[in-house]
Every structure is written in C-alpha cells, then in structure tokens.
Structure 1
Amino acid sequence: MTPVPFLKIVEKSGFAADLHSALAQQPRHISPKYFYDDMGSALFEQICALPEYYPTRTELALLRLHGAEMAELIGPQAQLIEYGAGALNKVRLLLARMLRPHGFVPIDISGPHLLQACAALQAEHPLLNIQPVVGDFTQAVDLPGAPSRGEGQRVGFFPGSSIGNFTPTQALEFLALTAEQLRGGGLLIGVDLIKDPDLLHAAYNDSQGLTARFNLNLLERARRELGCEFAADGFRHSAFYNAPLQRIEMHLMSMRSHVLSLQGIDYSFETGETLHTENSYKYSIAGFRALAERAGYRAGPVWTDAQNWFSLHWLQAPAG
C-alpha cells in the first residue's frame, strides 16, 4: 500500500523572538519545546535509554503489561492522536493491541525527526493510515477528520510525563484543549509521581552527561540557527529538585560574568545567573486526577508500577 500523504502544518519558528524575550526578562525562562531540533531530539532518545532515566523503561513495562486493557478502553476503529510523538517507540505497543484502528495522527514540533519515525512505522504497518502533523501540540491545530458516527472514537496518547513540563496552570489549559479535541473519546496520559529526590536527581544528572548536553544544546541551536555568540565555557547544566514546588528544575547557569550576543543585542550574565529551561512537575495520583477533572475529563483507571514511580491514566473526555 502506498502511504497516505503526510499532513504538514508549516509554522514560522518563534525561536528568535522567544529567546530574545527570555533573555530580556528576570528571571530568565524559555519554553522547553526549543530543546527539540534534530540534535536535541536525537539526544533525548539516548537519554531515554539511560539506566538512571526510569520513566521510559517503567512506562514501557506498564504498556506491555496492561496494553490489552488500554486497547479495550480505546476500542475498535479508533483514531489515535499522539501529542509530542518523538520516535514513536511507545505507541507501537498500543497499535499492536488495537483493533482495526481508523488512523494514527502523531504531532511533533521536530518535522524531520517525526517524518523519519513515521516512515519506519509505515513500513511496519503498511495498511495503517498515518497522518503526521508538524507543529506545536500545545496550540490548537487542524487535525484530520475524526471517525464517522458509528465508527470508533478519537483517543489521545500523551506518554512520557511531558505534562510535567507545564506549570499547573498550563497543564490545566492543555488538558482542557485536549478534552475539547477528543470529545466523546479519551486520553491515555503518562504522569511521573512524587518520589525520593535522590532518584530524581540521578535521572536528570546522568553519569554520561547526556542530559547536560541536551540542555546545553539549546544554546548550541541558537548558535547554529541564529548566529548567537557566547563563551564556550560560559554556561553549565544545572538540575535539582525543588521540593516545595514538587518539580525538577533545569537551568543553564552562568559560570562567570560574560555577555551573550543575539542578533546584535547583548545580554549580560553574572556568575550564578541562569536561563531556566525546563520544569518537570511530579504529581500524586489523587492530585492529577483532580486536575484532569477540573479540565473536563472524568478520571478512569490508573496503572502504576510496583514502586509507584510512574503512572498511566485513562481519562474519559466529555461527550461529543
């Protein structure tokens, strides 16, 4: 079967404008979505295979163990939409259990990385209707048509605990957006749980330094794409658990007084000043279920590992 033509949403990158805005404010903070150029996406896939990085292997184990239960909730002839699709490794475990899927719509901001992953998946599933969307999944995007009445439901898949990258307010807004997109269907979402800070510290400060390279790649991307100039030894990776806010914070910390130049504008950094690049909020099961219900979902089954490190939630979207 000839693959269905890819659906593309071509967006003008806001990287330059957002980086200028981040550097001009205090405290400095930029969206983690800019991690994911081709290099950043490749580094993240390597991070997922690290022994210290428990979320990926724990979630994969849950999908293998409970995939049949999840597929039963998804139902036959469903259209599956994956938010922040990446390499499409986890969705393979769902697709293998799903009954006659109507189609698969992966959404990701890194176009070349997504299209390469879709080509590999299409070779494995030649009859599957794959329609990738290149764009920012946190914004409203035009999606392919949903299954017709009497066919399957539209179901979202958001693995990896990426919901933790949002502030609680942003998470509520995103969940409300997906509840509207998935009306009459549901959302299967991965959520990292509150746990021993030592485990969290190790996961974000791996011994191979891959997470540090991933973090620093944001500035390297700015150098490659925007001609940004900064001292080679000017910044280092910093990640720590903020217990009162129940989140990991990642920063690029200035190691000395120096100037970063972006498109003719100079931004001064003093020793110890940071550019805050990512949060990763950790939830209790009850706390996340309450958040989802505020967004319009009805909380359903939850699957967790024996250590209660990670959870997968089924959320029923409001009726169409």
Structure 2
Amino acid sequence: MTPANPAMELTDAPDDEFKVDVHNGLAQSPKRIPSKYFYDARGSELFEQICEQPEYYLTRTELEVLQKNASDIAAAIGPRAVLVEYGSGAGIKTRLLLDAMSEPVGYVPVEISTSALSASVESLAEEFPDVDMLPVAADFTQPVDLPSPEQDAQRTVIFFPGSTLGNFEQRDAIGLLRTMCIEMGANGSAIVGIDLKKDTAILEAAYNDAAGVTRDFTLNLLTRINRELDGDFDLAQFEHRARYNALAGRIETHIVSRIDQTASVGGERHAFAEGEAMLVEYSCKYSQEEFASMAAKAGLRVVRTWMDPERWFAVQMLERA
C-alpha cells in the first residue's frame, strides 16, 4: 500500500490551549506550566541535542536496550501489529522496533510538535513503504480519535519510550496507563520505557549538562511564550534549575527568577519575586516494584522486562491484568 501523505493526516490540538494553560499556570501559587509546551520546533531540536550530551544517559541506554533486544521484543509483540506511539519525536527508536517487527501493518504516531512529526513520518514512510503511516498532531494526554490502518491488524501495541511517563505525577501517570489499557484492546500490549532509581549525582548531571543545552531547552519555553502569546520575559533574568527530590523520587525542574520583576503575557502582568521558582517539569524515577504497582492500578501487569547491564533503565511490556 502507498502511504498516505503525512501532511494530509495531521490534526492539531486547539489553538488556544497553550494560551489558557500558560495564563492559568502563571496565576497559580506556586506557578507552573506543563512540560508538553517545551516542544515547539526549536524545543524539539534542542531536545535532540540533549540526547547527545554525555551526561544524558537515558537515550543511549534505552537505545542500547532496544538494539540488543529488538528481536526478542518483536517476537513478544507478534506479527501484523499496528504500532501506536505517544510522543514520537524523531522516530529513532521507532525505526529499530518497526525494522524488527514481523509484517507491521500500521504506525500511528501521536506528537504535539507538527514539525517533528512530519519530519519523522516522511522518513519512516520511505523506509517502510508497506506500513500505513497515520500521524496525528495532538496532545496524547487528551482524548483523541486514532485512525486505523487499511490493512488488517492482529493486535495494537502502544509504544511509549524515553521515560516520558516519568513526566507525570503518579495519579496522571496511572490515568495514562489506563488509557493505554483501553486503546490496546483485549489482546494488545504496551512497550514502556522507565528510568530506574540510581545515584543522585548521576541523575542531576543528566538534567544539568555542562554544555548548557538543557538550560537552553528549559528557557526556550519563555521564548515560545514571548513569540506566540505576546510575552515580554527577559530570559537573562531567569535561570534553569533541576534537582533530585529523593523523597518524591523525581527530578524537579524549575525556571527561577533572578530578581524581583514582572513579566507580561498578552497584556496581563505577572510578578516574580527574586528566587521564585516556576515548576515546568517532573522526571520521576522508579523501582521495578513501584512501576508494577502503578501498572496494576491501571489494570495492567508487567509480562516482560529488558534492562541494560547497569540496571539504569528498563523497557517493560504490559498487558491487561
């Protein structure tokens, strides 16, 4: 089958969602803005650069796990599956999985960044001409109607790599796992990447690289607000901060005001005190037992686990309990 033109399939999230979430987040105390808004075109580029930094072990470790176990994972998935990926990004890990799978019939990436989505799907369509490419430009945390491939699929597999599940508070993470449980169907499965708990120094270094790429990535959120929502944030007066909260088991990333100041967004003024921290991301780390408990609350069970030798990162296969 000839793949559909990726650009024809894109469906964007509501235009005003970003505006509403930013205004609501700045009105809270403490202030917070959802991390999903990092990923405009520039943010997506910076994240790809983050993945190349020596301190950022997550991507290379997960890639190592997928490369070494691709055949085993594909065998566990089975033939003629449709792959649904949340937050597809550049599609590097997707390529590994599709290449190993037996007769995959469809690929449904759900990605908020239209530019990243178009680029990855166009590339994958050339490499996998027999796979129906059905990209959806949307926020996967919200209800979305997923297209079905024209070819008959034997099962649906949700692919959620990159430890992105860790960006959600536990209640929301369980809710997302429940959504997976519904979308995979009775005989489906989910392949989920999770970052495991480890030494604090290793964790904090991953989110504070020496080259400052993660800092630029974080502060690009303010650049996006300035550009798209008529903001006037002075980036020189804000800084990136990422620290590990051992009690909560997560990296907490904030944008911190260097001085007492105000910033305008769409004509509304917002005051920032010196040292005031605005939460922009959680990156939760799990033990295998903690993740299995979360999955159980969503009606799922862990059936297979693949890890690197250092046991820093795990790729888990989930099925309905």
Q: TM-score range by the shorter chain?
A: over 0.9
Matched, 1:223 2:221: no
Q: Which residue is 2:168 aligned to?
A: 166
- Counterpart of 2:184 in structure 1 is 182
Q: Distance in 1 between matches of 2:269 and 2:212?
A: 29
Aligned to 1:128: 131
Amino acid at match of 2:171: T
Residues 1:91 and 2:94 aligned together: yes
Match of 2:20 among 17, 40, 44: 17
Q: Which aligned pairs between 1:239-278 and structure 2 lie closer than 5 A?
A: 239-278=242-281
2:5 maps to 1:5: yes
- Normalised to the residue count of structure 2, the TM-score between the two structures is 0.96
- Deviation of 1:145 after TM superposition, in Å, equals 2.4
The CA distance in 1 between the partners of 2:32 and 2:221, in whole Å, is 12
Query: Of 196, 215, 224, which residue of structure 2 is paired with 1:212?
Result: 215
Looking at structure 2, the residues matched to 244 and 316 of structure 1 have their Cα atoms a distance apart, in angstroms, of 30
- Residue 146 (structure 1) shift: 6.5
Q: Kindly provide the amino acid, as one letter, of the partner of residue 31 in structure 2.
A: R
| Secondary structure of 2:228 counterpart | helix
More displaced 10-residue stretch of structure 1: 32-41 or 11-20 = 11-20
**Deviation (angstroms), 1:232:** 3.7
Identical-pair percentage: 43
Distance across 2 between alignment mates of 1:310 and 1:268: 40
Contact 2:132 2:150 in 1 (8 A): no
Higher mean C-alpha deviation, range 224-233 or range 190-199: 224-233
Amino acid at match of 2:175: E
Separation in structure 1 between the aligned mates of residue 151 and residue 192 of structure 2, nearest angstrom: 24
Deviations 1:207-258 (A, max 9, x none): 1000000000000000111110122422000110011101001100000001
Query: Which residue in the other structure is 1:301 paired with?
Result: 304
Unaligned runs of 5+ residues in structure 1 are none
The residue type paired with residue 176 of structure 1 is R
1:99 maps to a residue whose letter is: S
Q: Which moved more, 1:117-126 or 1:7-16?
A: 7-16
Alpha-carbon separation, structure 2, partners of 1:134 and 1:5 = 14
- CA deviation after TM superposition for structure 1 residue 30, in Å: 1.2
C-alpha offsets along residues 103-133 of structure 1, whole Å, 9 cap, x if unaligned?
1111100012211111111112222211101
Task: Provide structure 2 residue ranges, at least 5 long, that are not aligned to the other structure.
Answer: none
When normalised by structure 1's length, the TM-score is: 0.96
Q: Give 1:314's aligned residue.
A: 317
CA RMSD of aligned residues (A): 1.4
Which of the residues 147, 151, 154 maps onto 1:152? 154
Query: What displacement does 1:197 show?
Result: 0.4
The more displaced of 298-307 and 275-284 is 298-307
Runs of 4+ in 1 over 3 A off after TM superposition: 146-149
CA contact (8 A) 1:28 1:275 kept: yes
- The aligned amino acid for 1:207 is A
1:116 aligns with 2:119: yes
What is the rounded CA distance, in whole Å, between the counterparts of 1:58 and 1:201 in structure 2?
16
CA distance in 1: counterparts of 2:224 and 2:48, whole angstroms: 17
Per-residue deviation, 1:49:
1.1
- Aligned letter for 2:169? T
